[in-house]
Amino acid sequence: MAATKKAVLGPLVGAVDQGTSSTRFLVFNSKTAELLSHHQVEIKQEFPREGWVEQDPKEILQSVYECIEKTCEKLGQLNIDISNIKAIGVSNQRETTVVWDKLTGEPLYNAVVWLDLRTQSTVENLSKRIPGNNNFVKSKTGLPLSTYFSAVKLRWLLDNVRKVQKAVEEDRALFGTIDSWLIWSLTGGANGGVHCTDVTNASRTMLFNIHSLEWDKELCEFFEIPMKVLPNVRSSSEIYGLMKAGALEGVPISGCLGDQSAALVGQMCFQDGQAKNTYGTGCFLLCNTGRKCVFSEHGLLTTVAYKLGRDKPVYYALEGSVAIAGAVIRWLRDNLGIIQTSEEIEKLAKEVGTSYGCYFVPAFSGLYAPYWEPSARGIICGLTQFTNKCHIAFAALEAVCFQTREILDAMNRDCGIPLSHLQVDGGMTNNKILMQLQADILYIPVVKPSMPETTALGAAMAAGAAEGVGVWSLEPEDLSAVTMERFEPQINAEESEIRYSTWKKAVMKSMGWVTTQSSESGDPSIFCSLPLGFFIVSSMVMLIGARYISGIP
């Protein structure tokens, strides 16, 4: 049997998929796109103050090495020769900001995660300097001024962390998003590591001109970012350098895409108008707009989709970004303790089959698209004595679907041609109740590939197709057919609209909870809202003694 398996294998391609919640390494057959083996490690998130989200860059790097080693061991057990791995692609959580010492390879501070809100006062101060009739930040970057993007995170590090300031003064500091940190480290680190990023990740920094495809001097001056710390910008598919350690030493790293662009490629959305929605920590709907930048009138972002080769054209996308999707399930597990594993959410939701009028707006980091409202905070409303943890679990799943409906509606208005179906991917798509809810709330079919690891697949495709590697053809006739699972709407359109309009009422109630005060030091007093837990506890006090609620700690 092993001999048969080896006989059908073509060249293999590996993919690092470094997300907010976990790191994975996956290996694909480049001729069939079959996933052969993988390994996953959960990543810790640190919350040192309210609204702050950090991760340890060294833990992230170590998790990548661990995933590569464990996957190679698993391939060995399958009698698959790891020397068949011809290239490695990198896909990563975007915007998350790292600054490190190029002489020692040591991070100078924790990674400031894309969800982090500490820069709200910085954003408010900067926004006062943008002329109302000339939003040059948005026209050059496609992005609104927001805590979401890297420039303001880097500005905060430069203002508040002495080790970072000193390293910049002494020309030792390097900045990068997670892709840059990983590629630099994997290709040698302090001993000749390659300091680069790709166009998709660069386009999420607010420092990159998406028209000229270069770091923008005016933007760097506006944010007061020294350009010498920035990585070189490359295409998404070319050889950046070779692995310098571990089981895959000598293998080229030749693909790099921000996770949502990687999923767009992995879903093979190469045509103008094709779209996909990825359900991960957040939720991200991208629509390929071809070689032209389309600027949204309805709260969406304009971003670089991919550039698959140095001499290949750049493609753009419209993007709807939702901060909290899978993260709400993790919150129910880790903060409320009403589930022990993320998979239990489906079982709880299935027990009741309804939220019984309970609505959950998980605006833990404010609201992203289409509102861009940093003052919002999470609320659960519509509670009664009958509400129990199953209803709250169901409401959490519905929240993911309602947020997707909001960005899909905005996408349809911007594009003018409503999507006839929604292609989906990401870890949450294994939840069949979520997928059926999504079809019901959108009132269009939801189509899921049988192999949901499209983010890693996209990174592998970019790596395998790179010049000098050439083991993966991206020609339409060569792309493997993908089997799909289809979810059709099962409720009537009127019921779908009623549920959606009630959700919109809940969203309005979530806004305006935070009042910010300008703070140069990042004092937590700028986040003087009551946390979501307060509203839950207040509601629970009224429900003490109700036997239906007894399952909630």
- pLDDT of 198 reads 97
Helix axes of 150-160 and 120-127: crossing angle, nearest 10 degrees: 110
The answer to whether the beta carbons of residues 331 and 343 sit under 8 Å apart is: no
The answer to whether the beta carbons of residues 498 and 357 sit under 8 Å apart is: no
The answer to whether the beta carbons of residues 392 and 332 sit under 8 Å apart is: yes
Instruction: Kindly write down the DSSP assignment for every residue of 339-408, as one continuous string.
Output: -SSTTHHHHHHHHHSS-TT-EEE--BTBB-TTT-BTT---EEE---TT--HHHHHHHHHHHHHHHHHHHH
Q: Mean pLDDT of residues grouped by 10 in the chain (553 residues)? A: 50 95 93 91 92 95 96 92 94 96 96 92 87 82 92 95 94 96 96 96 96 96 94 97 92 95 91 87 88 88 94 94 84 89 86 87 87 88 91 92 91 81 87 91 88 90 93 77 82 83 91 61 37 41 35 39
Q: Count H helices, E strands: the chain?
A: 17, 23
Distance of CA 401 to the CA centre of its chain: 17
Measured between alpha carbons, how far is 113 from 59 in angstroms, rounded to an integer? 14
- pLDDT of 246 reads 87
Q: How far is CA 385 from each of CA 151, 271, 378, 421, rounded to the nearest angstrom?
A: 47, 51, 21, 38
What value does the CA radius of gyration of the chain take, rounded to a whole number of Å? 23
Measured between alpha carbons, how far is 347 from 342 in angstroms, rounded to an integer? 10
Taking the CA atoms of 124, 125, 131 and 135 in sequence, report the sign of the dihedral they define: negative
